[in-house]
Structure 1
Amino acid sequence: MDVVSDAISAVRMGRPSSNRVRASGSWCTRLAPYDGAGFHIVLEGSCWLLPDAGAPVALGVGDAVLLPHGAGHVLADSAVDAEAVARALPFDDWSGGGYPPSGPMSSVSADAQAQLHVLCGKYRLDHSRVHPLMAELPQVVHLPHRVGRHPELRAAIDLLGGELGGPRPGAGIAVTSLLDLLLVYMIRAWMSESTAGAWSAALGDPVVASALRALHADPAAPWSNDRLAAEAGVSRPTLARRFTALVGRPPMAYLTWWRLTRAATLLRDTTDPLAAIAARIGYGTPYAFSHAFSREFGTTPGRYREGRQGDRARGPA
């Protein structure tokens, strides 16, 4: 696993979902804040996204927008005023179904030629232990369509739109897999364009990136600052200085944090006994693991598992 894959896997829960929506005329709909992430991709026409906090965003054909923290927002045919926003229909009422609607196509308007055709979707995320890479994503990630930019993202959008166009054999697996792929590609596209993200800089630094890859590849290994510095090909002081500056904490502090974050994911997603989880993340005994976990999370591994698996059992997004 690489750092970006691990960061996504640590928070992803349940199954993502999506649908295509058509609309025409004058319309305005509101999507309430959500404990996860949402996205919209304009396939035809144009619209406006008005986040609860932040500037309005004009969306045109091919534009993708990710709301990684589930921010509440309004979608409208134009840059509407505050009064219109206050009257916005809840998305479920506007689209005629749940979010996303239950059928392969939700037709908000009966017009044969819709002015808007948009792909909407959402992911359930566990925000109790977010990797800093995910935490630094802005409330709204706008990825305007530009010819030749992010071809893998465009390919995923085309494939997903095709799968949602009607029932196809194997669509249940294909759509879920494409949605997971879409999330990765949207985050990757943001990282490639971001100039302010600390984690873009960390993963772009050969020394820090090498150290992070080593820690994520084998968090249970008996790492030390000296061993990690040797793995990265630099001196211990050089690694400590560069790693701390870009990651925000020293290498061994990050390793402890990541081990326990990984343990939280295993407690949530598996029924493995504590001894097995302790061994997988580098703790010699279940007692040592339980003590470290309780100090970090404020609860025992068993109680954490009971609570988080209850959340996970709620099913798809």
Structure 2
Amino acid sequence: MDVVSDAISAVRIGQPSSDRVRVGGRWCTRLAPYDGAGFHVVLEGSCWLLPDGGSPVVLGPGHAVLLPHGTGHVIADGPADAAAVKRAVPFEQLAGTMAAPAPEDGSGAVEMLCGKYRLDRSRSHPLMAELPELVHLPSREDAHPELRGAIGLLGRELERHRPGAGVAVPSLLDLLLVYMVRSWMEEARSGTWPAALGDPVAAAALRALHSDPAAPWTNERLAAEAGVSRPTLARRFTALVGRPPMAYLTWWRLNLAAALLRDTADPLSTVARQVGYGTPYALSHAFSREFGTTPGRYRAQAGAGRGASSDR
């Protein structure tokens, strides 16, 4: 695994949900804040998106938008003033009624793929926490070919209703999330994690830790993996990532343990081995210090939370 894959896997739960919506005429809809990440892909036409507390964004064909922190927002056929926002219908109503019909000649029609990713934010990787409130990725021929390819595949799968679409669409939506995060990192002009993963020393060390977190890492071994001296590794890694290499490793191991406790029924001894702890007692002690609760209680609470989420 790599940092981006691990950062997404650590918070992703369940399957993404999506609606394909085709609207025309005058329309305005509101999506309430959500404990997850929202996304929109414009397949045809254009519209406006107004995030809560933010500036409006014009979306055209092939544009993708990710709202990684579940920010509430309005989508409309054009600039939405205060009066229009007050009249906005809930998105569920828009998706259910398909809004006003588009003109017969198709002019003015807007077709979108709108959806949500369920996220467990209790122990989010800082890379995901660093994402801005809104990531807007316009369609450009010279950028993000994988993202454009995924959007094209999604549009065709949803249009033709071919056999296997029930598996293909959720898988493509998962790919879409990866490509949107990756595209943001490629375009970011600032930020801790784009800088860290763009630095050859920090990136090499992070790849090594994430590829085998259970290995008996030391500063010396990690420095050799990155091809630098131990002081150089410590200085560059700490400056870019925000904590020393071994402190980051401990933190990541405990987050992996939390994910395994949440998502599997593996006994604590198995979880301990998978994340690099020699005994269940050693893991339990470190886990309780980090999370303020025992692994058993954490697993029970996580199970209760999953049940509540599945009921919504």
Q: Same-fold call, TM > 0.5?
A: yes
For residues 3-18 of structure 1, what are the structure 2 equivalents within 5 Å? 3-18=3-18
1:166 is displaced (CA, Å) by 4.0
Which sits farther off after the overlay, 138-147 or 307-316? 307-316
Structure 2 residue matching 1:13: 3-state secondary structure: coil
SS of the equivalent of 1:296 reads helix
Which of 272, 276, 284 pairs up with 2:278? 284
1:1-317 pair list within 5 angstroms = 1-96=1-96, 107-111=98-102, 112=104, 113=106, 115-313=109-307, 314-315=309-310
State the distance in 2 between where 1:310 and 1:143 align. 36
The Cα of 1:315 is off from its aligned counterpart by: 4.0
C-alpha distance after superposition, 1:7-60 (max 9, x if no partner): 000000001122211111111110011111111111111111111121111111
**In the TM superposition, what whole-angstrom CA distance separates every residue of 1:166-221 from its partner, at most 9, and x where no partner exists?**
43211111111101111001111111100112111111111111100111111111
**Structure 2 CA distance for aligned equivalents of residues 156 and 169 of structure 1:** 18
- The amino acid across from 1:253 in the alignment is A
The Cα offsets for residues 145-178 of structure 1, whole Å up to 9 and x where unpaired, read as 1113111111111111111124321111111110
CA distance in structure 2 between the partners assigned to 1:289 and 1:281 by the alignment? 9
Q: Distance in 2 between matches of 1:202 and 1:212?
A: 9
Using the TM superposition, give the Cα deviation of residue 284 of structure 1 relative to its aligned residue in structure 2, in angstroms. 1.2
Q: CA RMSD in A?
A: 1.5
Give the letter aligned to residue 254 of structure 1: Y
Q: Matched residues in 2 for 1:180 and 1:48: separation?
A: 25
CA shift for structure 1 position 316: 9.7
- Distance, in Å, in 1 between the alignment partners of 2:113 and 2:270 is 42
For structure 2, the residue ranges without an aligned partner over 5 or more in a row are none
Code of the aligned partner of 1:55: S
Q: Which amino acid aligns with 1:256?
A: T
- The alignment covers a number of residue pairs equal to 308
Higher relative CO (Cα under 8 Å, sequence separation at least 6) belongs to 1
Query: SS of the counterpart of 1:14?
Result: coil
Deviation at 1:237, TM superposition (A): 0.8
Aligned counterpart, 1:102: none
Higher helix fraction (1 or 2): 2
TM-score if structure 2 supplies the norm length? 0.95
- 2:30/2:75 contact within 8 Å kept: yes
Secondary structure in 1 aligned to 2:14?
A: strand
- What secondary structure is seen at the aligned counterpart in 2 of 1:164? helix
Query: What is the rounded CA distance, in whole Å, between the counterparts of 1:28 and 1:164 in structure 2?
Result: 23
Q: Secondary structure at the match of 1:15?
A: coil
Letter in 2 for 1:51: P
Give the gaps of 5 or more residues in structure 1.
97-105
Q: TM-score, normalised by structure 1?
A: 0.94
